[in-house]
Amino acid sequence: MADIDSLIPLEQAAHAAHQDLINLQERFASQGEEGVRVPPGEWSEEQHAECDQLLRVWRERAEAFHAALRESDDRLGAEKAVKKAVHHPEPAAEAA
């Protein structure tokens, strides 16, 4: 059975991989002249290969998270708690 503490690092890894993919896509798209965005259809083969690699990493990490999530007794509750912890963490309490 998967607990919240074991699921959080898996979701963090998937989220980081997704952010890496988004950043790469933004970097490639912003390489046009005079601020003109470059659509994916105009990327080089090397750029597509790099994007595909990051897409595979994101997919593998997301699949690992969901595979572990399936082991939870309360899948919906666990997913909600993990997503909240990763994407909307509570502010840390200030020390007195």
- Using 50 as the pLDDT threshold, list the residues of the chain that sit under it: none
- Amino acid in position 95: A
Domain spans, the chain: 4-87
CA gap 9, 65 in Å, rounded: 9
pLDDT of residue 58: 97
H or E element at residue 16: helix 4-29
Alpha-carbon separation of residue 41 from 28, 76, 94, 95 (angstroms): 11, 38, 49, 52
pLDDT of residue 52: 95
- The closest of 8, 17, 29, 23 to 58, measured between CA atoms, is 17
pLDDT of residue 28: 84
- Listed in sequence order, the residues at least 6 apart from 86 whose beta carbon sits closer than 8 Å to its beta carbon are 8, 11, 12, 15
